[in-house]
Amino acid sequence: MAERPEILDLFEQFLSGWAIGDPVSLASVCTPSAALISSAHGSINGATALAEVLAMDWLRGQEAQINSTNHYVAVDNKNAVLGAYLYGQITTSEPVPKQLLFGALVVADLIATDKGWLFTQLHLTVTWLEGDRELAIAWTPPRPRRLWEVGDDAPHLVNELDSPWARLPGAKVVGSAQDQVGEVFMRYIWAMDQADFGQMRGTLARDIAGAFPPIGDLTGRNEVMGQLKNFRQPWPWMQHFCVPLSIEINDDRATMLLGRVIAQRPVTDEDFPLFGAHYRIQLRKDEGQWLIFWFEYIEGWITAPSGV
């Protein structure tokens, strides 16, 4: 059970080191031969090299904040895989105020060592940018928000090959029973955003039903997946940042409440967590596997579970 908090703490150390541009902190969470495969930076081999490149992302006078959601952690003996979404903000006040928001996803491989868990590979895909792109002038930017055109590069991450579930397919979700239930939704929403509807199939009961605005009420796995597939195709930059707010388990039934973080407005003026919508999800265990059978997406700002 301890693997999950250890790995998530290591990941937060990586994000903190990246945000403040600290190459020592970045290198310390990686094996010496670790690799970075990044849509923004290219491929870099070696902990020292990747740490130096990431530490140079922010120019003098810039500040960066990086947050993570949608965590998935699984372990197979001495190997582990981590999946997460990132949303970040780069700002500068001199000579004039500027801001850049970005969304990204990470798939990381880890290995257990005598020093604890360490990253062996970090796959970083920047999915969208919003604001002044000059604040990340060294990055190779993602494709603009438009449909595919002849000459576009291949996607940096192919979910069927590169998702954390594909990277280490024999791994088991680590953590509490609530973490294992929460993983089903994270796998569902990752599949939605990455257009991997084969992966989505394994998260939904055949008789799933619910409210899917703006599409409407849907019933049955065929209708749900078919409509979501049509809905998803025009928006390859789609990214749903989601945080579990409560998970209750009663024998073979589970109820989950999740908040959807809006990267442009993640907190209130008083710095409390703020969600632009929330999900009410019900699951049941079928032959040992949790499946979503009721799905409800509710638009509107909330600040806490008690506010819904």
**Secondary structure of 139-165 in HEC code, one letter for each residue:** CCCCCCCCCCCCCCCCCCCCHHHHCHH
Domain 3-167 grouped into CATH 1.10.1200.10: no
> pLDDT (tens digit, 0 to 9) for every residue of the chain, 308 residues total?
689 999 999 999 999 999 999 999 999 999 999 999 999 999 999 999 999 999 999 988 899 999 999 999 999 999 999 999 999 999 998 778 999 999 999 999 999 999 999 999 999 999 999 999 999 988 999 988 777 788 888 888 999 999 999 999 989 999 999 999 999 999 999 999 999 999 999 999 999 999 999 999 999 999 999 999 999 988 888 999 999 999 999 999 999 999 999 999 999 999 999 999 999 999 999 989 999 999 999 999 999 755 55
Q: Which letter does DSSP use for residue 274 in this model?
A: -
Is residue 131 packed enough to be buried (19+ CB in 10 Å), middle (13-18) or exposed (0-12)?
middle
Domain boundaries, the chain: 3-167, 176-307
Architecture of the domain made up of 176-307: Roll (3.10)
Neighbours of 273 (CB within 10 A): 14
Does the model's pTM come out above 0.85? yes
- Indicate if 176-307 has the same CATH topology as 3-167: yes
Q: Compute φ and ψ for 46, nearest 5 degrees.
A: 100, 135
Instruction: State residue 146's pLDDT score.
Output: 77
Is residue 280 packed enough to be buried (19+ CB in 10 Å), middle (13-18) or exposed (0-12)?
middle
Instruction: State residue 61's pLDDT score.
Output: 83
